[in-house]
Amino acid sequence: MEKPAFLEKNKKIVDKFLLGYVKKQKEMPYTLKRAISYSLFGNNKRIRPSLCLEIARICGLEYTKVLPIASALELIHNYSLVHDDLPSMDDDDYRRGKLTCHKKFTEATAILAGDAMIFMAFDLAQKYYSGNELKSIISHLTKASGPNKMIAGQILDITRNKRNYEEIVKKKTAALIEASVNIACDISKAPKNIKKSLKVFGQNFGFLFQVLDDAKDKDGFVKIIGEEKTFLLAEEIFRKISLGLEPIKETKGLLEAAKYLFLQTVS
């Protein structure tokens, strides 16, 4: 199965926007800009911003209205990856087929590059949004990436608290994907019933994303419940996504994205 067209199209849109934004940072030290660019560009999937743009389209909103915040979501995601790779965290040497940021530069540079991307994300939010819209965006960003979600998932992960691995996944991975959907729904002023269904989609898609990643890497759920049960879990989540999207028009692309992830893993 080919990658859904909206993923590739939205990736290019986000790449162009982020490239322009990084280039505009004239006061940023050269080494820091290099480290950020190295981490931010390359073989990146752009799943979170692509979903944000697609949800806006489904809700009848021009993609340009959510492009800045979709790009901010990608900055936060990439900060988390840079920090996740650090020696004090997962201690990884490679990501997406190339040296991790701290291996390419230095550990200190990687820490600062990650820190910088957090503030760049919030800079985009305040530059392009205001009033209640900005308040809603900040609420989603801080909740999904803060101490009760992404950071909570990371601390549970590094302390090897695997008693509830599903909780780690939902906090560390799924929360930001869910936020991508919720932010687009809020900006689009989607009706309550549509917003509720898409929120559930965001939760399930984020969960499916990590389950399939574990299946591909033979890690996480595979080590805990075994490969067969991991694929059965993925099938169950995919069914929930499919059923949940049935009442909403123009969600074929979202279902295709979930199916694409699934088939990429089992093939």
Instruction: Write down the pLDDT at residue 162.
Output: 59
Inform me whether the pLDDT recorded for 155 exceeds 80: yes
Instruction: Write down the pLDDT at residue 187.
Output: 95
Across the range 135-150, mean pLDDT stands at: 96
Inform me whether the pLDDT recorded for 1 exceeds 80: no
Instruction: Write down the pLDDT at residue 250.
Output: 83
Instruction: Write down the pLDDT at residue 43.
Output: 83
pTM attached to this predicted model: 0.94
How would DSSP label each residue in 163-218? TTHHHHHIIIIIHHHHHHHHHHHHHHT--HHHHHHHHHHHHHHHHHHHHHHHHHHT
Instruction: Write down the pLDDT at residue 161.
Output: 61
DSSP secondary-structure letter at 63? G
Inform me whether the pLDDT recorded for 267 exceeds 60: no
Q: Which CATH class is domain 5-188?
A: mainly alpha
Inform me whether the pLDDT recorded for 193 exceeds 60: yes
Residues contacting residue 229 through CB under 8 Å, at least 6 positions apart: 221
Segment 161-189, tens digit of pLDDT: 656 888 999 999 999 999 999 999 999 99
Instruction: Write down the pLDDT at residue 238.
Output: 93
* Cα angle value 174/177/180 (rounded, 5°): 150
> What burial letters (b/e) apply to 81-104, b meaning 16+ CB within 10 Å?
bbbbbbeeeeeeeebeeeebbbbe
Instruction: Write down the pLDDT at residue 55.
Output: 95
Across the range 200-206, mean pLDDT stands at: 93
Instruction: Write down the pLDDT at residue 217.
Output: 86
Across the range 121-135, mean pLDDT stands at: 97
Inform me whether the pLDDT recorded for 264 exceeds 90: no
Instruction: Write down the pLDDT at residue 50.
Output: 96
Across the range 136-146, mean pLDDT stands at: 96
Across the range 47-51, mean pLDDT stands at: 96
> Domain residues of the chain, as ranges?
5-188
Instruction: Write down the pLDDT at residue 266.
Output: 59
Instruction: Write down the pLDDT at residue 145.
Output: 96
**Dist. CA 193–CA 189, nearest whole Å:** 11
Inform me whether the pLDDT recorded for 260 exceeds 90: no
Across the range 190-209, mean pLDDT stands at: 91
Sign of the alpha-carbon torsion through 70, 214, 145, 250? positive
Inform me whether the pLDDT recorded for 38 exceeds 70: yes
What percentage of residues in the chain have a pLDDT greater than 70?
Answer: 97
